[in-house]
């Protein structure tokens, strides 16, 4: 399996615990400082909304939803091929 690693995306780390975001292809975890809307997180990660689902605490989150530091997030790709 792919190894897990961390990437600090935003400045300000160290003041609070930022939200943890699980990404795939390859499987990895990043940390993003909240509060921030889902659509802004996707923009920052350069992901098209049509190609992913944002799952917050096992529930689907819409693009206008605000994410906070205490949230655990999964951004799951939906495109498969071959």
Partner 1 sequence: MRCKKCAQKAIIKLPRHNTAFCGACFDEYVLDQVRRAIKSERMMTHEDRVAVAISGGKDSLALWDILLRLGYNCAGIHINLGIGEYSRLSQEKTEQFAHQRNVEFILHRLNETHGAGIPELAQETHRPACSACGVMKRYNFNRLAQEAGFTVLATGHNLDDEASRLLGNVLHWQQDYLDKQAPTLPSTHPKLLKKVKPLFRLAEREMAAYCVLKKIDYIVEECPMSKDAKQLVYKDMLNRLEETIPGTKQNFYFEFLKRQKPDILELDGRLKDCIRCGQPTTSDLCSYCKLVESLAVAKAGGGKSSP
Q: Looking at beta carbons only, is 17 or 62 nearer to partner 1?
A: 62
Q: Which stretch binds partner 1 (CB under 8 A): 4-12, 13-21, 28-36, 71-79?
A: 71-79
* Positions in 9-38 near partner 1 (CB under 8 A): 24-25, 27
52-59: long-range contacts, CB 8 A cutoff, minimum separation 24 = 52/76, 52/77, 52/78, 53/78
The residue range among 6-14, 28-36, 55-63 that interacts with partner 1, by the rule CB under 8 A, is 55-63
Q: Is 75 exposed, middle or buried (0-12, 13-18, 19+ CB in 10 A)?
A: buried
Could you say whether residue 78 binds partner 1 (CB under 8 A)?
A: yes
What is the smallest separation between the CB atom of 50 and partner 1, expressed in angstroms? 5
Q: Is 63 in the site for partner 1 (CB under 8 A)?
A: yes
Report the C-alpha gap between 13 and 78 in whole angstroms: 30
Q: Are 71 and 56 in contact (CB under 8 A)?
A: yes
């Amino acid at each position: 399996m792919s190894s897990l690693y961390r990437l600090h995306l935003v400045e300000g780390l160290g003041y609070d615990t930022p939200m943890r975001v699980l990404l795939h292809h390859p499987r990895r975890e990043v940390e993003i400082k909240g509060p921030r809307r889902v659509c802004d997180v996707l923009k920052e990660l350069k992901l098209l909304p049509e190609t992913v689902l944002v799952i917050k605490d096992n529930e689907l989150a819409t693009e206008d939803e605000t994410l906070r530091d205490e949230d655990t997030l999964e951004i799951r790709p939906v495109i498969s091929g071959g």
